[in-house]
Structure 1
Amino acid sequence: MNKTARYLSALVFLLSLSLTAQDQAVIDQIVKEANENSQLERLGQELMDGIGPRLVGSPQMKQAHDWAVDTYASWGIPARNEAYGTWRGWERGITHIDMIHPRVQSLKGTQLAWSPSTSKKGVTAEVILLPMVKDSAEFAQWLPNVKGKLVMVSKLETTGRPDYNWEEFATEESFEKMKAEREKADEAWGQNMRNTGYTSRSIHEPLEKAGAVGIVSSYWSKGFGVSKIFSARTKEIPVVDLEMEDYSLVYRLAARGETPKLTIVAQSEELGEVPTFNTIAEIKGSEKPDEYVILSAHFDSWDGGTGATDNGTGTLVMMEAMRILKKVYPNPKRTILVGHWGSEEQGLNGSRAFVEDHPEIVENVQALFNQDNGTGRVVRISGQGFLHAYDYLGRWLHAVPEDITRHIETTFPGTPGRGGSDYASFVAAGAPAFGLSSLSWSYWNYTWHTNRDTYDKIIFDDVRNNAILTAILTYMASEDPERTSRERIVLPVSKRTGEQLEWPEMKGPTRKGGF
């Protein structure tokens, strides 16, 4: 090697060291800002405590969108609410459920989303149980009995203790006996429902038509005091969910012929057809402004709690990552864009609308990072079926502090997500989009779509780690001199059908929903 060649080689080596030092300096600043000036607790209180649940079509959803735009503006980040459709507008009011016979007791529960309202006085009526029937004809003959009654439409649970409690304290024989009794009771309930000719979802309509004055249900989430809260399916009569303990109390009284009576006040307001939005904020790229790194989290929630872990924490991660990046990396090479998607809970509608409306952005996505499954630290990342995902994700993850990455298991190349959260909308369009999957913290039983999904369940140390992870991955993706590969794996043959699996198809959003 001659003198000139040696000089050039040394110069390249020194430049590479300089770039590495530059990257490390930015990464160190990201970590320092996240740990010493975190805004997570304040943002969490403003969003979850102050605004509350964010049901699509509710005034609180619009309030949250406006709050996000204003918050980004205070950080010097341009943001906008981008309308993509409309939804049935509805706002919940006060719910009171009281048993007034055979004794007086206030019960714990709430009206379901989009439930028709009662008057201020509410409705007072006797409770009636679904009968055991041999076929749909016998059920049709029974139906007139519901006139003027409140109808209980959920099964009686065998036990109010979660399985983990039985495993800790019961004898093996007792636990096995309970499970056998539960399985038998569940099978009998399911068969009886089929005998009626309806499902648990469709039976509300005939009950309402037959003159029932309200529906009482209970969707136990297999944890102490936890109910899953979804939507009503009636047109004029209220639907309330009782927590399992109180539902079981009323059910047992009715089964013993004690003719329990309830007074239900479930006020709500119909607001007609209202617009739905995504909130979009961006830090413009300085060198490649038409290439994008996207931070992704759905903004809406169900409204049994305040949507803290589904998906308030994902929202906080993306907002905090954007705040940090604007402060320590204000001139990114590529445009950094954040999407706070609407109506994810009803079918990824916000993100699907964005993909459909912005093909020019989707075509130029360098990477998308999505977080949406609870408050825990990220522990799993899949390559989503992109053949060379390891090449770039591996590089980017290498820059993340080891105290964060040591918890993370990666699967490369993985398989493409077909639903579940908003990254799937982008994967279907062929964009390299990745879910940052987190540790459970009893998510499925205790906070996913439940009445217990509230601020006090947030683990801020884990959320802070996730914000650091997201900010560093975003920085590395923005700085990467190479475009990410979109080459896909050849999907395997389905064990179920024996046919070659295909890449998930793009699906359009519901742009007018809830009616």
Structure 2
Amino acid sequence: MKRFGFLLAAGVALLALGQPAFAADANVFTPATLKASSDIQAKALAGSGAYGFVESLTVRVGPRLAGSPAAKLSHQWAEARFKELGLSNIKVEPFTVDGWERGIEHASILSPVAHHLHVTALGHSVTTPPDGITAPVVRFDTLEDLEAAPEGSLKGKIAFVDKKMNRLQDGGGYGEAVGVRGKGPEAAARKGAVGLLIRSIGTDSHRFPHTGITRYADGVTAIPAGALSNPDADQLNRVLALGQPVSVKMVLSSQAMGPLSDANVMAEIKGRELPDEIVVIGAHLDSWDLGTGALDDGAGVGIVLAAAKIIKSMPQAPRRTIRFVLFGAEEVGLVGAYAYAKQHAAELPKHQAGTEADFGAGPVITFNANFRPEAKPVAEAIGKALAPLGIVPGRGSSSGGPDIGPLAAQGVPTGGLGLDGTDYFDYHHTADDTLDKVDPKKLDQATAAFASFAWLAAEAPMALGPVPKKAE
């Protein structure tokens, strides 16, 4: 047990916080199935190879903006890796995505004192005029405060929303803060603003601004929108606190590229007894363009490929088919996930379970599931099988991951393998999302968890669904 070291320590820490222990497995799985799961974990912990896949993707392809030439190169890279692993039914399934390209990014305080600001355009932001926008700044604590501003009160001004994100191990602070990124430009434009700046949706204190997709509403003037790094947001606050009018200049030359082609890439290990029933384990291939997408979601891609390698090496195939899906265009609105759900609608009732690795490089610290009530003993037995990795029960129900959401909405059962996100949002969507942030040993543990979950879900003695359909 000593070889699990920090993993068990993480589990003990969570138990100390009141997390329940997993219930007994009630003989759900055969000894042979549990032995195979244990062997999968041991192989992964001894060296899963996941880090090598992340390195290859981030070096040979680099950042992979949806619809870009690099995204297409990533599809070719993924197809080649699946072939090398000897998987079957390899497919590249295309779909269309709205393309976008980043350009010049600059912001500065002009008065009452001059300061350069580190800024990045929000994904799909419209461009400023070539000479930029220079305007007074009006600060708001939250999106709700911006939405409550009087009509026309921001005419000719730049809105600045200063919502801070809380650091939480499960990443819960992201959901509390991210609304301003998606809805802020529309809200500011409705009040007459000519531009929007937000505090980055991140937990770091470095001068790396965080990008991410934003939205524009039909019938509302689209205005340029950017995110300031957290230290630069702090500096803008200090200047505003001087009590004098503050003028800011922003230049963003990003542009729409029109409809472009993207794709999901997938492959299978065919089930030995129930080949028409499918367990999906996924990640997303695309990334933002500032870093190399090592954590988001190169690490998930590495986990999926390493899990495929290990499961393929087992003496016998799993009972059900395991499908390894590398989704495209997740960052710009789950476009690949919706395409998958549409293209595979006829077989969704035969999807046994779905899970996604899309929250950094690990380790996995919690497990929960959204199975039909009759399959609760299976969820408990899987949890018990994962416990030696330092994994404890998670709170609430499982979404399975962002790209699994459209499947869950159609009643597909999900498994939630909660990765430790304590520092994930220090790097998320920034130029600092690079390979040096990936710990190979933690990635091995995450691979052990995802691979053994996929194996056990495929081996389950009963159907895990369907579960009640829910809103996406």
**SS of aligned partner of 1:221:** coil
8 A Cα contact 2:185 2:222, kept in partner = no
The yes-or-no answer on 1:200 pairing with 2:184 is yes
Query: 1:417-448: per-residue Cα shift (whole Å, max 9, x none)?
Result: 4x9623333333233221212223233x5245
> Which of the residues 276, 279, 287 maps onto 2:265?
279
| Residue aligning to 1:46 | 56
Larger radius of gyration: 1
Instruction: Quote the Cα distance in structure 2 between the aligned partners of 1:416 and 1:28.
Output: 23
1:80 aligns to what? 91
Alpha carbons of structure 1 residues 336 and 94: separation in structure 2 relative to 1, 3 Å? same
Residue 432 of structure 2 is aligned to residue 446 of structure 1? no
1:66-102 deviation per Cα after TM superposition (whole angstroms, max 9, x unaligned): 321122122222422212x422112224534466777
When the two structures are superposed, what TM-score results if normalisation uses the length of structure 1? Answer: 0.67
Determine helix, strand or coil for the equivalent of 1:202. Answer: helix
Q: Which residue of 1 aligns with 2:444?
A: 464
Q: Does 1:219 align with 2:200?
A: yes
Q: CA offset at residue 47 of structure 1?
A: 2.9
Q: 1:338 offset after TM fit, Å?
A: 1.2
Is the 8 Å Cα contact of residues 91 and 270 (structure 1) preserved in structure 2? yes
Displacement after TM superposition at 1:161 (Å): 11
Asked if 2 retains the 8 angstrom alpha-carbon contact of 1:115 and 1:232, the reply is yes
Q: Report the equivalent of 1:9.
A: none
Deviation at 1:367, TM superposition (A): 2.9
Does 2:341 correspond to 1:355? yes
Confirm or deny: 8 A CA contact 2:371 2:465 kept in the other structure.
no
**Higher alpha-carbon deviation: 53-62 or 274-283:** 53-62
Which residue of structure 2 lines up, in the alignment, with residue 108 of structure 1? Answer: 118
**Secondary structure of the structure 2 residue equivalent to 1:461:** helix
| Equivalent residues of 1:377, 1:439 under 8 A apart | yes
CA contact (8 A) 2:149 2:191 kept: no
On the 8 A contact 2:97/2:329 being kept in 1, the answer is no
Q: Check conservation: 2:413, 2:465, Cα contact below 8 A.
A: yes
Distance 1:477 1:366 in 2: 7
Distance 2:366 2:139 in 1: 46
- Identity fraction in percent: 26
Question: What is the RMSD computed on CA atoms of the aligned residues?
Answer: 4.1
Is 2:212 the counterpart of 1:230?
yes
Determine the C-alpha separation between the residues in 1 that align with 2:63 and 2:310: 26
Post-superposition offset of 1:163: 8.8
- Provide structure 2 residue ranges, at least 5 long, that are not aligned to the other structure: 1-26, 141-145, 169-179
Query: In the alignment, is the contact (CA less than 8 A) between 2:120 and 2:210 conserved in 1?
Result: no
- Distance across 1 between alignment mates of 2:410 and 2:215: 33
User: Which of 128, 134, 159 lines up with 2:136 in the alignment?
Assistant: 128
Cα distance in 2 between the residues matched to 1:334 and 1:45:
31
State the distance in 2 between where 1:206 and 1:424 align: 31
Question: Offset at 1:112?
Answer: 1.9
Letter in 1 for 2:97: W
Match of 1:504 among 449, 458, 469: 469
| Aligned match of 2:326 | 340
Matched, 1:321 2:307: yes
Contact 2:401 2:416 in 1 (8 A): no
Higher relative contact order (Cα pairs below 8 Å, separated by 6+ residues): 2
State the shift of 1:469 in Å: 2.0
Task: Give 1:328 deviation, angstroms.
Answer: 3.1
Q: 1:376 to 1:354 in 2, by over 3 A?
A: same
Question: Any conservation in 2 of the 1:154–1:219 contact (CA below 8 Å)?
Answer: no
Q: Is the 8 A contact 1:284 1:336 kept in 2?
A: yes
C-alpha change, 1:162 and 1:487, in structure 2 (3 Å) is: closer
Supply the AA of the counterpart residue of 1:456: D
Deviations 1:342-382 (A, max 9, x none): 34445544334323332443222233333333333223222
Contact 1:54 1:303 in 2 (8 A): yes
Q: How far did residue 136 of structure 1 move?
A: 3.6
Count of matched residue pairs: 418
Q: Distance in 2 between matches of 1:346 and 1:358?
A: 21
Q: Is the 8 A contact 2:365 2:419 kept in 1?
A: yes
Gaps of 5+ in 1: 1-15, 165-192, 194-198, 489-502, 508-515
Amino acid at match of 2:465: R
Q: Do 2:306 and 2:447's aligned partners in 1 also have CA atoms closer than 8 Å?
A: yes
2:100 equivalent to 1:90: yes
Q: How does 1:377-456 map to 2 (within 5 A)?
A: 377-400=363-386, 403-404=388-389, 406-409=390-393, 415=397, 417=399, 421-443=402-424, 445-449=425-429, 452-456=432-436
Q: Distance between the aligned counterparts of 2:261 and 2:249, measured in 1?
A: 37
> 2:462 maps to which residue?
483
Q: SS in structure 1 opposite 2:185? A: coil
Q: Could you say what secondary structure the match of 2:200 adopts?
A: coil
Q: Counterparts of 2:391 and 2:37 in 1: how far apart (Å)?
A: 19
8 Å CA contact 2:352–2:465 kept in 1: the answer is no
Question: Partners of 2:455 and 2:342 in 1: how far apart?
Answer: 26
